[in-house]
Structure 1
Amino acid sequence: MKTLIVDDERLARNELRRLLENFPKIQIVGEAANADEALPMIDELEPELLFLDIQMPGKNGFELLQSIEGKAPEVIFTTAYDEYAIKAFEFNALDYLLKPVELARLSEAIHRVEEEQHATEPSTSAGQSSGHKLLGENDQVFVKDGEKCWFVKLGKVRLFESMGNYVRLYFDDQKPLVLKSLNALEDRLDPVTFFRANRKHIINLQWIEKIEPWFSGGLLVTLRGGDKIEISRRQAIRFKDLLSL
């Protein structure tokens, strides 16, 4: 698994790198001391996992994640402070490690990463050969939120929105929550119909009513029903390629 370490303390990066030598599946592809260094590395190297400090000069760890365009890597926070834990999981963090990081605790975090990988494997080619397939607009799915249940055709779902460790589905006048990460959901949805607009949203292309230029080279799409979703600059390039003749 391609891994990037982001921490402003060189000693902390060195210690984490030493501990990660115990996990042969982890391939460290780079290190960054701050968000300005990390963002172009994330764009170029496309790591699958970030070990991310929170308090750093310039943008903090949360602001770095908000700046990532397109599909974000899985994240394990590493910090000397415990007061950010709740906010960390609002950002879909797989784990939250307090410094100094202990090997046993790191091992638990790596195990969570592996579990998350296994959870998304059915959407891969190997998974499809085992009977799983991408879900398209004509597929129906069972959705349960509390005491309410729906059997909904995916073509009716106009928008998927990340809400921490949950995803909110928008269809008709309903907005149920399902316990699943947006990354895992994206891997199951047919990209012909469903497009990752930004870090928080997947849109149903069939529901687009209006497209407008937006800030910094992005786009603003309006869905039937009035939802307005920003397509990030990086995703806007893919979006134009996807919909061009």
Structure 2
Amino acid sequence: MNVLLVDDSRLARAELRHLLQAFPDVQIVGEARHAAEARTQLRQLQPDLLFLDIHMPGETGFELLATLDQAPHVIFTTAYDEYALRAFEVNALDYLLKPVQEMRLAAALEKARTKLAVQAVPELVGPGPTDEPAPTPLTAQDQVFVKDGERCWFVRLADIKLFEINGSYTQIYFDQHRPLIPRTLQHLEARLDPKVFFRANRQQIINLKWIAGIEPWFSNTLKIQLRDGPEVEVSRQQSVRFRELMSL
């Protein structure tokens, strides 16, 4: 498990590095003192896990995450307990208060191992052997089997208007149904046809065929209205990509 440490305190980074030595499967691939440095290292190193402070010079940890279209799993490390709810709203794996306790660190790392193991499974939905080659990309006309609890569907991808992160799962929008599947958006994005499905932001993938309207939004971003569905705010970087993709 490759890890990046982001904290403006050198002592805090040193203490966390010392604690992580007790976990032989963890490799610290880099350290960053602030958001700008972290953004560069995330792009270059592509770690599996990010230990992220909240209060740093310049941008906060939350502001850093808001600028990323894709991010590794995140464990917040902070001296402040009032941000815990917000941390889990951005799908953080855990929230560790400084000074970090080894037992809490071990529990957080176990959550990360579980998440990474789920991502390694190469199927869209449902269990299967992990030693097979990654399946070929799906077309919009392909049908997929979806199971949520005791309910099952066999649905065309063309009929799915939206994939959206919901806690540890991804929620699928089709007809009046909203089932949850244990897959990440990164996994789904790798299987979906990029001519039909577009990653709008860190939380959502939209079906371009279901767009009912587009309007300019804040800071040169876009807001997209889906037919019979919710509005989706496109991130700044993805708004640029969307304009390039859809322009003549």
Given the alignment of the two structures, is residue 110 of structure 1 paired with residue 109 of structure 2, yes or no?
A: yes
Q: How many residues align?
A: 241
Q: State the TM-score, normalized to the length of structure 2.
A: 0.76
Aligned-pair identity in percent equals 49
CA contact (8 A) 2:93 2:112 kept: yes
CA contact (8 A) 1:3 1:49 kept: yes
**Within 1, Cα distance between the matches of 2:240 and 2:69?**
11
Given the alignment of the two structures, is residue 228 of structure 1 paired with residue 231 of structure 2, yes or no?
A: yes
Which has the larger share of helix? 1
Given the alignment of the two structures, is residue 8 of structure 1 paired with residue 3 of structure 2, yes or no?
A: no
Which residue is 1:62 aligned to?
62
Q: Which runs of 5+ in 1 are unaligned?
A: none
Which residue is 1:218 aligned to?
221
CA contact (8 A) 1:13 1:31 kept: no
**Within 2, Cα distance between the matches of 1:202 and 1:100?**
38
**Within 2, Cα distance between the matches of 1:180 and 1:131?**
15
Which residue is 2:164 aligned to?
161
**Within 1, Cα distance between the matches of 2:181 and 2:74?**
20
**Within 1, Cα distance between the matches of 2:40 and 2:136?**
33
Q: Which runs of 5+ in 2 are unaligned?
A: 124-128
Distance 1:48 1:228, change over 3 A: same
Which residue is 2:148 aligned to?
144
Say which SS state the counterpart of residue 122 (structure 1) adopts: coil
Q: Which amino acid aligns with 1:142?
A: V
1:194-213 → structure 2 map (5 Å cutoff)? 194-213=197-216
Residue 24 of structure 1 deviates from its aligned partner by 5.5
Q: Which amino acid aligns with 2:71?
A: A
CA contact (8 A) 2:29 2:45 kept: no
1:67-86 → structure 2 map (5 Å cutoff)? 67-82=66-81, 84-86=83-85
Residue 198 of structure 1 deviates from its aligned partner by 0.5
How large is the RMSD of aligned CA atoms in angstroms?
3.4
**Within 1, Cα distance between the matches of 2:3 and 2:242?**
27
CA contact (8 A) 1:90 1:165 kept: no
**Within 1, Cα distance between the matches of 2:86 and 2:122?**
29
2:174 to 171, 177, 181: 171
**Within 2, Cα distance between the matches of 1:186 and 1:37?**
27
Distance 1:136 1:116, change over 3 A: farther
CA contact (8 A) 1:142 1:150 kept: yes
Residue 88 of structure 1 deviates from its aligned partner by 2.7
Residue 156 of structure 1 deviates from its aligned partner by 0.8
Say which SS state the counterpart of residue 54 (structure 2) adopts: coil
Given the alignment of the two structures, is residue 29 of structure 1 paired with residue 30 of structure 2, yes or no?
A: yes
CA contact (8 A) 2:3 2:26 kept: no
Q: State the TM-score, normalized to the length of structure 1.
A: 0.77
